[in-house]
C-alpha cells in the first residue's frame, strides 16, 4: 500500500479532501497513490508538510522505487 494511501486511511481523509488540503485535483492524488506519476518537488514538499513528515518526499518518488 502506498504510504499516502495508508496515511489517509489511518486519518480518515478522502482523496478529495486531501487533494483540497494540498491544492490539487483528486485525480492527482489518485495517480500518485497508483504510482503512475511522481509529484512535482513543490507538491511533494506540501504533502510532506501536510502529513507532518509521515509521508516524505522520497516516499512519493515512484521513479526511484521502480529502479
CA 66 to chain centre: 17
Q: What is the pLDDT of residues 9-58, one digit of tens each?
A: 999 999 999 999 999 999 999 999 999 999 999 999 999 999 999 999 88
Domain 3-66: state its class.
Answer: mainly alpha
Non-local (6+) Cβ contacts of 13 within 8 A are 7, 21
Q: What pTM, to 2 d.p., does this model score?
A: 0.87
What pLDDT is attached to residue 63? 52
Where are the domains positioned within the chain? 3-66
**C-alpha closest to that of 7 among 38, 35, 47, 36:** 47
Residue 64 has pLDDT above 70, yes or no: no
Q: Among 2-6, 40-44, 60-64, name the most confident range.
A: 2-6
Amino acid at each position: 500500500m502506498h504510504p499516502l494511501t495508508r496515511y489517509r486511511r489511518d486519518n480518515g481523509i478522502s482523496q478529495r479532501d486531501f487533494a483540497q488540503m494540498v491544492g490539487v485535483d483528486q485525480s492527482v492524488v489518485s495517480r500518485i497513490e497508483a504510482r503512475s506519476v511522481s509529484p512535482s518537488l513543490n507538491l511533494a514538499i506540501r504533502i510532506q508538510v501536510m502529513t507532518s513528515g509521515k509521508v516524505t518526499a522520497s516516499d512519493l518518488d515512484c521513479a526511484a522505487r521502480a529502479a
